[in-house]
Amino acid sequence: MLMLWTSLLACFSEPPPPRTVVVISWDTTRADALGSYQDVSHWGLNIPPNLRPPPKTPVADRIAARGVRFQWAFSAAPTTLNAHTSLFSGLDPHEHKVVRNGYPVSADIPLLAEQLQEAGWETLAVIGSSALERGMGLSRGFQVYDDPQPAKPGDPSPQQGLAMYIRDAAMVTDAALKAVDDNHTAGEDLFLFVHYYDPHTPWMVPVDPQLGVPGYAGPVDGSMKSIGILTEQRKTNKMLIDDVRQARALYLSQVSWTDQNTGRLLAGLDERGLLEDSLIVLTSDHGESLEEHGRFPYSHGPDVDLMNIHVPLLMRGQGSLGVPEGTVVSRQVRLLDVGTTLLGLLEPEAPRLGNGEQIAPLWAGVLPPAPPAFAEATKPISLEYTQGWNNLPFERTVIADGMVVVKSPWLKEPPKLYRMAPGQPPAEDPSSLLRLDGMLSAWDAGAPGYRTAEMSDETRAALQSLGYLDAPPTTPEPEPEPEPEAP
């Protein structure tokens, strides 16, 4: 009898199993590049349905089916560093003061990894692009921050290959599993951040035969040269429908390749017994304009409409971190809410992270009014403001109450009102336009002052190679938005 009670007491006194939290970021991934987001897709609405290449993301779609999908999640910026800073700080760009890539995060801004490390978590990160290299500040709080290092003077020209600045999804997955094997201590809580860069241009993965145009023999091969050809054709309204389709197929192939390697990552973590008590978060920093825009096609940075800031946000949990399966949250949320939500779930006694909202109650049906979502563009760099916050002249957006207001001060256009719906259709509602425009003006009134770029020659070379420091051509007046030429 005594032995039985001893065994029972031993069972009750066992410590809780270690937890694993995996945050996976797919760079430059529109929400509607995932199959699970086709109910709110802006995708290919100008292309006949039978000619639209469909997303191919079975791994992400399984996460959505077995967890929570936030239908309308918005980034605050269409650039890698400032969007990820919002993710890990709970602050928007006016609060964390990251202008764009190359402007390091201030050391006085608390970050999610720092908070978790202080609470005793092991913190590991594996990065796919030097846009997030450790000198930019997001490495704070990570015991291991495995990133591509910028080139040093004398290294081969960036034009001879991007390998010194990025690594593909297979390399990232291999590095992530190795980081876990080399650094994780059994029984310890683990926070793992994995950044995949592949959906970003150039599109280097061969087109998936199931997505590409059968027999395609045109110029679109995913290289920066071919993307330049597409851009000029779009601006002059000389695009052919097969070129449009092949470009979309190439983009979707990059996303599909990232999905495959995400599956390999999760399978590897599962084999190591790390997903029994876990939370997986899959998201993106921002979207991408394809042929939709006549002024800045095949790019991101100059635009903050829904195609550029509507991002996927999926959460799947098991064990003590379980979340309800097959749940869709239709109320809008923000990328900057993610860090706050994770900290609240994992370490409730820790200080609140930034100004993010705790969105976990949303999947239980508690739906308080959503805070407005603000976003601002980071280009054209040649027109940035020098008498105040750098990005003030650029396109800016506020989303509230199912409405979207977009305005571009540098074009001197009046603000425009849209509905928060697939295709962002125009809306006629003068009172909503006035109210949301007032919100946007108030947000801009609180913007910080001008911030000078302070980056090393190595960082500048890396960003130039990745296309982040090239100011795109601009025109004083907006161009029309013609449709692609029919076959």
Please give the helix or strand (H or E) that residue 62 lies within, else none.
helix 58-65
Domain annotation covers residue 47: yes
Yes or no: say if 374 and 82 are a contact pair by the CB < 8 Å rule.
no
pLDDT of residue 301: 93
Q: How confident is the model at residue 445 (pLDDT cuts 50, 70, 90)?
A: very high
The Cα–Cα gap between 323 and 317 comes to 5
SS3 226: helix
Q: Is residue 348 part of a domain?
A: yes
Query: Percentage of the chain surpassing pLDDT 90?
Result: 77
Query: Does the residue 364 lie in any domain?
Result: yes
Enter the tokens of residue 193: 């951040």
The predicted pLDDT at position 481 comes to: 40
Judged against a pLDDT cut of 60, whether residue 150 lies above it is answered with: no
Q: So what's the pLDDT on residue 49?
A: 85
Query: Residue 334 corresponds to which amino acid?
Result: R
pLDDT tier, 461 (very low <50, low <70, confident <90, very high otherwise): low
Kindly report which listed range (172-181, 234-243, 384-393) carries the lowest average pLDDT score. Answer: 234-243
Token pair, residue 260, equals 């495959």
In the numeric block, the tokens 């005594």 are attached to 2
- The mean of the pLDDT values for the chain is 89
Q: DSSP 3-state assignment of 247?
A: helix
The mean per-residue pLDDT over the stretch 429-441 comes to: 97
CATH number at residue 211: 3.40.720.10
pLDDT range class, residue 487, cuts 50, 70, 90: very low
pLDDT of 159 strictly over 80: no
In contact, 73 and 63? CB cutoff 8 Å: no
pLDDT for res 475? 36
Give the 3-state secondary structure of residue 280.
Answer: strand
Q: In this predicted structure, what is the pLDDT of residue 292?
A: 86
Which residue do the tokens 């913190």 mark? 123
Contacts with 307 (C-beta within 8 Å, 6 or more apart), sequence order: 30, 42, 287, 288, 289, 290, 292, 424
**pLDDT for res 476:** 35
Q: What is the mean pLDDT of residues 440-457?
A: 89
- pLDDT beyond 80 at 233: yes
**How many domains are there within the chain?**
1
In this predicted structure, which of 247-251, 409-413, 444-448 has the lowest mean pLDDT? 409-413
> How many beta carbons lie within 10 A of that of residue 186, not counting itself?
8
Q: How far, in Å, CA of 208 to CA of 247, rounded? A: 12
Q: How much is the average pLDDT of 366-392?
A: 95
pLDDT over 80 (residue 81)? yes
- 454 falls in which pLDDT band (50, 70, 90)? confident
Q: Is residue 13 part of a domain?
A: no
Residue with tokens 């992530």: 176
Average pLDDT over every residue of 183-204: 96
Q: Which helix (H) or strand (E) holds 341?
A: helix 337-346
Domain span at 43: 18-371+455-465
pLDDT tops 90 at residue 71: yes
| Kind and range of the H or E run holding 317 | strand 313-318
Tell me, yes or no, whether 389 lies in a domain: no
pLDDT band for position 23 (50/70/90)? very high
- Looking at residue 149, its pLDDT comes to 67
pTM of the entire predicted model: 0.90
- Going through 179-224 in order, the beta strands assigned E by DSSP cover 190-196
Query: For residue 187, is it within any domain?
Result: yes
Instruction: Report which of 293, 80, 54 is spatially closest to residue 200, judged by C-alpha positions.
Output: 80
Distance CA 268, CA 252 (A): 24
The residue whose two tokens read 């697939």 is 422
Residue 484 clears pLDDT 50, i.e. is over it:
no
Quick check: bond before 202 cis, omega within 30?
A: yes
> Does 75 score more than 50 pLDDT?
yes
What's the pLDDT at 65? 98
Per-residue pLDDT, 471: 42
- On the question of pLDDT at 142 being above 50, the answer is yes
Does some domain include residue 404?
no
Residue 478 has pLDDT above 50, yes or no: no
- The pLDDT value given to residue 293: 80
- Say which amino acid occupies 172: V
353 within some domain: yes
Distance, in Å, from the CA atom of 200 to the CA atom of 409, rounded to the nearest integer, reads 27
The mean pLDDT of 166-171, rounded to a whole number, is 92
pLDDT tens per residue across span 304-321: 999 999 999 999 999 999
Please, are residues 75 and 300 in contact by the beta-carbon 8 Å criterion? no
pLDDT tens sequence across 364-376? 999 999 999 999 9
Is residue 115 within 8 A of residue 353, CB to CB? The reply is yes
Predicted confidence (pLDDT) per residue in 25-66, tens digit: 999 999 999 999 999 998 877 788 888 899 999 999 999 999
Taking residues 215-225, report their average pLDDT. Answer: 94
pLDDT of residue 165: 81
% of the chain beyond a pLDDT of 70? 87
What is the predicted pLDDT for the residue at 220? 95
- Positive or negative, the Cα torsion across 273, 325, 264, 197? negative
Q: Any residues with CB less than 8 A from the CB of 434 and at least 6 apart, and which?
A: none
Position 297 pLDDT exceeds 50:
yes
Q: Which residues of 428-459 are buried (b: 16+ CB within 10 A; e: fewer)?
A: eeeebbeebbeebeebbeebeeeeeeebeebb
Pairing of strands 416-419, 403-407: antiparallel
For the chain, the 3-state helix, strand and coil shares in percent, each to the nearest 5, are 35, 15, 50
* Ordered DSSP codes for 403-425: EEEEE-GGGTPPPEEEESSTT--
Residue-level pLDDT at 21: 98
